[in-house]
A and B are shown apart, each in its own frame.
Chain A
């Protein structure tokens, strides 16, 4: 059991996170402050929820790039709907409407994919363009900075806060609660429900899954509804944090989210991926991004350095995998016997 944990992808990523943190922290000790940790969490939360939205799709064996556009149409659409009607309440109604729009948009992807038996990527390429276009043309083309009274101040709703004379006040933002709740739900769903197991089965081998009796259409549909709901949710959280609703929210960031999910150990071919790995993947990406400022690396170098780090970090889990394979079946067998 312990051996399995030690060899898992999640553990490798965790080790990398620790190693990287030690390096960054030794160059710039501010990295080890509570304030810095809170900032890291705040910056990661929205992207973890977005990565959760994408995770089931990746496990299913597909790559979707339209979830960012669904975030935009759901959050911006909800906001314009409410603000033009003089809504002054809190975020709850935003979440209800936004998740509903997200679910419908996700269903459209699922419907086209299952109805015409198309590739997930191809369909998402089309729906991404369509939803951004729809938002810009039918809803509005400029960022809206009007906030209902109930949403003002959300950006600094902290569970607990710390203050420092030079860098001011920062805190543990409430959005971490969403991450925990959604994370636990998704973990339970993927691990303990028939549909959840079916997602892994389809990602592993579609034909076998079908013969085993999994309802592929239904499962695909559920995966995309989850994607839509969580994308809409993430869009609203992000907009409330940045105090403006933007029709091109998250544009161009879909591949960053995908990279985090893959870094977290999900297989791009499908069949593998975990909630905890995804969380670690996002945190790792965020630390890499922050490390560059904290270690005084000039911006001009950032892209290059990020690219190099990504190469190294994608190769390490692959090497690990290869080593496991080279060791042959016997270890697996021994392990299985040990567990039995």
Chain B
């Protein structure tokens, strides 16, 4: 008897868990105004869809969307599944189409999986601008907005690293993995830039952190033992500079070795303060969300987007317009941010 009770009880618990797990239904708000024929002084409605709302990263992006709404007077909001999932994301896009929004800013989890829904929206007369999707196929987006060209970003990291190394000495590079395309573009372009501009600097090698701080930490300790003259570190995954910074701080070498790389305040904050990490670089998702909505507004107003244009968003003052590898038009800004001990609290994410 007790056993049977236990079984029934556990079934209930499991059932309850599943109900709790299922992504909260993203019902479209029924009272959303439906846009009819655009009038001169009418406001627009833009929906931003992200991979998942469960990440601090996208909550930061939402701040940019809401800032845009406040600045422009248009209605702008953000939605996303509770777990990163393309199917759930497509459902949200479809509900936005049904609502009749004017534009959708999409940050697709799986780029190809989201394309049919984006196409459907465009066929319904809705403008679609994506972010983090420069590989989108032609005809599935109006524009893709990216904070920067990855190669230019890698060069910028090198400029910062070189200036902190006195433009001379040995340095190492870390990538999350040797197969991570983005990380390798950053490091390869940084290396090419160094070879051209800083002949007195020397790359020892590119090491894999496996996106794991302990791996990076232990590898870096061995690097310190093997190359005692090391003067610089370039990190790619957010934890790379943290791991190198930890080893450097514990060894008491803060002033001897420069550490520059992609990271964020919540990861590197403590080490930026102690000086073990010199500079964290990256991009601010709030600005990406803001810029994405600005492009939608320009499309609504019939403004032609051209190379060299100013979107009126920090980092997007002089955009580069190119065509992505699968034919989608891509807008690049130069919206990298540089976080150091002084401004780290402005980028608290």
Contacts and interface: CB of A to CB of B under 8 A. Distances in A.
Interface of A: 28, 30-31, 33, 35-36, 39, 43, 46, 137, 141-143, 145, 155-156, 163, 166-170, 238, 241-244, 246, 252, 289-290, 293-294, 296, 298-300, 302
B228 interface: yes
Interface in B187-227: 205-208, 210, 213-214, 217-219, 221-226
A302 B266 CA distance: 31
Interface residues of B, number: 37
Contacts of B210: 252
Given A293-B223, A293-B226, A299-B207, A169 B266 contact: no
Contact of A141 (B54, B206, B226, B269): B54
Given A142-B55, A155-B246, A168 B222 contact: no
Contacts, number: 86
B253 interface: yes
Query: Secondary structure at chain B's binding surface: helix, strand, loop or mixed?
Result: helix
28 contacts: A28-B226, A46-B214, A137-B83, A141-B54, A142-B55, A142-B56, A143-B267, A145-B267, A145-B269, A155-B250, A167-B224, A167-B251, A167-B253, A169-B250, A170-B221, A170-B250, A242-B213, A242-B246, A244-B267, A252-B210, A290-B222, A293-B207, A293-B222, A293-B223, A299-B178, A299-B205, A299-B206, A299-B208
Contact of A169 (B223, B242, B251, B267): B251
B178 A168 contact: no
B40 interface: no
B269 A238 contact: no
Contact of B219 (A35, A246, A293): A293
Given A137-B83, A142-B56, A293-B223, A156 B250 contact: yes
Interface of B: 21, 54-56, 83, 178, 205-208, 210, 213-214, 217-219, 221-226, 228-229, 239, 242-243, 246, 248, 250-253, 266-267, 269-270
Given A145-B269, A169-B252, 16 more contacts: A39-B225, A137-B21, A142-B55, A166-B228, A168-B224, A168-B248, A170-B221, A238-B214, A242-B214, A244-B213, A246-B213, A252-B210, A289-B218, A293-B223, A294-B226, A299-B178
Contacts of B226: 28, 30, 293-294, 296
Given A238-B214, A293-B219, A300 B178 contact: yes
A101 B138 CA distance: 51
A294 B21 contact: no
A339 B175 CA distance: 56
Contacts of B252: 163, 168-169
Contacts of B221: 39, 43, 170
Given A145-B267, A242-B213, A168 B208 contact: no
Contacts of A142: 55-56, 266
A235 to B, nearest CB: 12
A238 B230 CA distance: 27
Contact of B208 (A28, A137, A155, A302): A302
Given A137-B21, A293-B219, A168 B250 contact: yes
Contacts of B246: 155, 242-243
B225 A30 contact: yes
Contacts of A241: 214
A30 B266 CA distance: 35
A36 B226 CA distance: 10
Contacts of A167: 224-225, 228, 251, 253
B190 to A, nearest CB: 16
Contacts of B217: 242
Contacts of A168: 224, 248, 250-253
Contacts of B253: 167-168
Contacts of B207: 293, 299
Contacts of B21: 137
Contacts of B56: 142
Q: Which of B56, B217, B226 has the most CB of A within 10 A?
A: B226
A124 B253 CA distance: 43
Contact of B218 (A43, A137, A166, A298): A43
B225 A36 contact: yes
